[in-house]
A and B are shown apart, each in its own frame.
Chain A
Amino acid sequence: MKRIAFFAGALALAGCQPAAPPPEETTETAPMTDEDMIRARTDEFEQAVSSADSKAIGALFIEDGDLVDQAGMMHHGRMAIVERYQKLFEGPYKGTQANLEISSVRFVRPEIAVIDGTYELTGMKSAEGQDLPAVKGMFTNVSVKQNGQWMLHCSRPMLPMKAPGT
């Protein structure tokens, strides 16, 4: 060790720099962009629907968030949204799996984004237990960044007259 120190000192005195140590392999990943975070939240939504976790869905919304469902019904406030999904999970959404795909994220302000995408629900059954065809729809969400977290402010799913991808 003394020898190494001696050589390093000698190189420094001679105006040279010791060879730089090889760069350490790093496992650090680039910080998430706002769009990355929004996409991650959408994945959480997908997971929450697929696991029938209405409370997890509610947690994605701001307290005062709202949802206008496919039939045009307004569900205002986190609790109302949780209750709405709980009823769905006990009824037509029982056992359903969700797939959400974002088609665009548009920042109308640095901390306000409009997110568009499509969703597909599979595995739904009728009240008689018969398999129902997949439901394909679209969604528009408005999200806000609060305390570093992107939260749903408004969610507007819709069933267009022409199903996405058809």
Chain B
Amino acid sequence: MENVMKALAISCFVVLTGAPLAAQDATVEQAMDALAQKYADAWKAADAAGCASIYSDDADLIDFMGTSAKGKAAIQESITQTLATFAGSSIQIVRTGIHPVSADVAVSDGTWEVTGAKAAPEGSPTRGFYTVVVAKQGDAWQVVSGRTKVAPAAN
């Protein structure tokens, strides 16, 4: 019975998170969703350090403006500025795909949308796409490269 319950739990996870998964991919997808949730929770709390914690120390981030931040400290600084722009907001992150590169590296894509900003400058993009490269560092998955973009129509 216990095994049946476990199987059901895994099936439910697969249904909730999208495409059917190989056993190895399930771990990557679970990790990706956990990272996204951690980021969203930290964003809601205006916690730039919490947002940056999903990145590896040597990660890099290129945002939709084309601005590059190299290293976790620079990424945290970038996020601090973004959070100030979108004060009081929440971010919704929806994973749309994941493409394992190896057993411990994967590329994940999705969409992001910021809602509830109190005083974002007019014309600030509030939705777009993201791509992250995640790699397993020890037992933990971390983002080693993050890229955000907005659709050209929003440019």
Q: Is A80 an interface residue (CB 8 A)?
A: no
Stretch in B8-16, B23-31, B73-81, B146-154 with 4+ CB within 8 Å of A: B146-154
Give, as a whole number of angstroms, the nearest-CB distance from B130 to chain A.
10
A72 to B145, CA, bound (A): 18
Q: Is A102 an interface residue (CB 8 A)?
A: no
Name B's interface SS.
Answer: strand
CB nearest to A136 among chain B residues: B66
Q: Is A158 an interface residue (CB 8 A)?
A: yes
A-B contact count (CB 8 A): 85
Give, as a whole number of angstroms, the nearest-CB distance from B65 to chain A.
5
Q: Is A88 an interface residue (CB 8 A)?
A: no
Q: Is B3 an interface residue (CB 8 A)?
A: no
Return chain B residues, CB-CB under 8 Å to A153: 99, 101, 107
Return chain B residues, CB-CB under 8 Å to A108: 105, 133, 135, 144-145
Return chain B residues, CB-CB under 8 Å to A159: 149, 152, 155
Interface centre among A116, A160, A161 (most CB of B within 10 A): A161
- Interface residue tally for chain A (C-beta within 8 Å): 29
Give, as a whole number of angstroms, the nearest-CB distance from B82 to chain A.
13
Q: In chain B, residues 79-113, which have Cβ atoms closer than 8 Å to a Cβ of chain A?
A: 96-97, 99, 101-102, 104-105, 107, 109, 111
Q: Which of B99, B105, B111 contacts A109 (CB 8 A)?
A: B105
Interface centre among A70, A72, A74, A156 (most CB of B within 10 A): A72
Return chain B residues, CB-CB under 8 Å to A160: 62, 64-66, 149
Q: Which of A68, A106, A140, A142 contacts B62 (CB 8 A)?
A: A140
A74 to B101, CA, bound (A): 17
**Can you show 26 pairs from A to B with CB atoms below 8 A apart?**
A64-B99, A71-B151, A71-B152, A72-B111, A72-B151, A74-B96, A106-B145, A108-B105, A109-B102, A109-B105, A111-B102, A112-B102, A114-B133, A116-B62, A138-B62, A140-B147, A142-B101, A142-B107, A144-B101, A154-B99, A158-B149, A159-B149, A161-B65, A161-B125, A162-B65, A163-B66
What are the nearest 3 A-B pairs in CB distance? A160-B66, A158-B149, A72-B129
